[in-house]
Amino acid sequence: MAVHDIVWKEQLDALLSQDWLVFVDFWAEWCGPCRMLWPVLHEIAEKHPTVHVAKVNVDEEANGPLAMDFAVRSIPQVTIFKNWQQVDQFVWALPLEQIESYIEKYSG
């Protein structure tokens, strides 16, 4: 399983520089939809070993600049990267099947 808790920008940069699909989940503990989405993203990471999930808690002071860099206005926001490039994003808690459609679209 490839789930990463991001606490500083350099961690995220290192993860994005690799040749894999990365789902960056911008979330907060108090956010109900964020808590609904987390088990789905955890399942994605377990089912798809080539997909990495990065969790960025927007309430942590060190992550504020990251949230600003990615123009996070609503959470949960999941930004999808492939080969260092942002390829897509979605906001809100989507069902597993919908998230897997992003994997199908950007894998390979």
Task: Provide the annotated active-site residues.
Answer: 31, 34
- 3-state class of 47 per DSSP? helix
CA-wise closest residue to 23 among 108, 105, 99, 104 = 99
Residue type, 27: W
What Å distances lie between residue 49 and 3, 4, 59, 103, CA to CA? 10, 13, 28, 11
Residues 6+ apart with CB under 8 A from 8: 62
Q: What is the DSSP letter of 22?
A: E
